[in-house]
């Protein structure tokens, strides 16, 4: 991919365990040319990160907590993000935090034409989630790690149920992009759902891809069509 990404991690706010899965996920969206993590490295709570930084070529940025109760890490990340924005060296940002303090930063970066991907835990406040183009839950990335460790109970805890609200969103989106016969290309449906709901991810509901998730919904019809330009078939969907 030609998209260059700046990956900025709030070390005080994000667990270190899924960093490998996190970097693999980020690579799907672009090339992480800048990778920085912010925190007070004199404190023992960031000790688990230290070995992982070398393995993943992430640069640690030291930020002392000058005042008790104030998060200096947030300020350092925001200042760096704006410096990187004005340097015009990247096409997008990946902000890794569960902190709503980055909501305005995400909004400002998007206003400047940057793609903004957020990564954080499910406890992340909604304003930060919707300020991003796409938001990925760390719990979803952990599932790959949990499967390797055969931790099935953790898998179940991290899976959301397909509720009426989600079905309504999907059906409405199909209607939005469908042709006169009611059929819609699934790729267009997925793109529009992402814009409406940045945290949408089929993996949140226990499916690796959007197609099997759609197949599990009885109210939606699905059809495969030949693609003259590829061996892969095109998937179209229709509300029943």
DSSP string, 151-210: -HHHHHHTPPP--HHHHHHHHHHHHHH--TTS-EEHHHHHHHHHHH-TT--GGGGT-SSH
Q: 4-157 is classed in which CATH architecture?
A: 3-Layer(aba) Sandwich (3.40)
Average pLDDT on 7-35 reads 90
Q: Which of 123-132, 153-162, 169-178, 215-224 has the lowest mean pLDDT?
A: 153-162
Using an 8 Å Cβ cutoff, are 94 and 7 in contact?
yes
Check residue 99 and report its DSSP letter.
-
Ramachandran region of residue 69, left (φ > 0), alpha (ψ -120 to 50) or beta? left
Domain locations in the chain?
4-157, 164-239
Q: Read off the pLDDT of residues 91-137 as tens digits, 9 standing for 90 and up.
A: 999 999 998 889 999 999 999 999 999 999 999 999 999 999 999 99
What's phi and psi for 129, nearest 5 deg?
A: -60, -50
- CA 180 and chain centroid, separation: 33
Spatial separation of the C-alpha atoms in residues 80 and 39, rounded to whole Å: 13
CATH architecture, domain defined by 164-239: 2-Layer Sandwich (3.30)
Which residue's structure tokens are 């998060």? 71
DSSP 44-74: GGGTTHHHHHHHTTPEEEE----STT--HHH
Q: How far is CA 123 from the centre of its chain?
A: 14
52 pLDDT above the threshold of 60 = yes
Average model confidence (pLDDT) across the chain: 87
CA distance 220 to 222: 7
Spatial separation of the C-alpha atoms in residues 73 and 208, rounded to whole Å? 34
pTM of the model: 0.82
- Residue 70's pLDDT is 47
Q: 60 exposed, middle or buried (CB, 10 Å; 0-12, 13-18, 19+)?
A: middle
pLDDT top residue among 103 and 230 = 103
Q: Which residues pair with 110 in a beta bridge?
A: none
Of 85, 22, 89, residue with least CA distance to 53: 22
The whole-number average pLDDT for the span 69-75 is: 64
Average pLDDT over residues 213-235: 88
């Amino acid at each position: 991919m030609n998209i260059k990404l700046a990956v900025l991690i709030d070390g005080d706010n994000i667990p270190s365990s899924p960093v490998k899965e996190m970097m693999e996920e980020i690579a799907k969206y672009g090339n992480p040319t800048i990778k920085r993590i912010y925190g007070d490295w004199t404190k023992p709570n960031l000790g688990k990160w230290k070995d992982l930084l070398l393995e993943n070529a992430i640069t640690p940025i030291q930020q002392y907590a000058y005042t008790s109760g104030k998060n200096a890490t947030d300020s350092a990340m925001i200042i760096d993000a704006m410096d990187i924005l004005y340097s015009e060296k990247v096409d997008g940002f990946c902000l890794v935090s569960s902190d709503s303090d980055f909501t305005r930063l995400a909004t400002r970066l998007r206003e400047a034409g940057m793609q903004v991907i957020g990564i954080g835990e499910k406890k992340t406040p909604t304003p930060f989630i919707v300020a991003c183009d796409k938001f990925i839950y760390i719990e979803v990335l952990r599932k790959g790690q949990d499967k390797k460790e055969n931790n099935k109970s953790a898998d179940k805890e991290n899976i959301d149920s397909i509720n009426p609200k989600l079905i309504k969103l999907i059906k409405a989106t199909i209607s939005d992009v469908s042709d006169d016969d009611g059929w819609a290309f699934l790729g267009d449906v997925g793109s529009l759902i992402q814009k409406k709901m940045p945290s949408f991810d089929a993996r949140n509901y226990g499916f690796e891809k959007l197609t099997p998730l759609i197949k599990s919904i009885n109210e939606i019809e699905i059809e495969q069509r030949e693609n003259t330009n590829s061996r892969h078939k095109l998937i179209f969907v229709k509300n029943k």
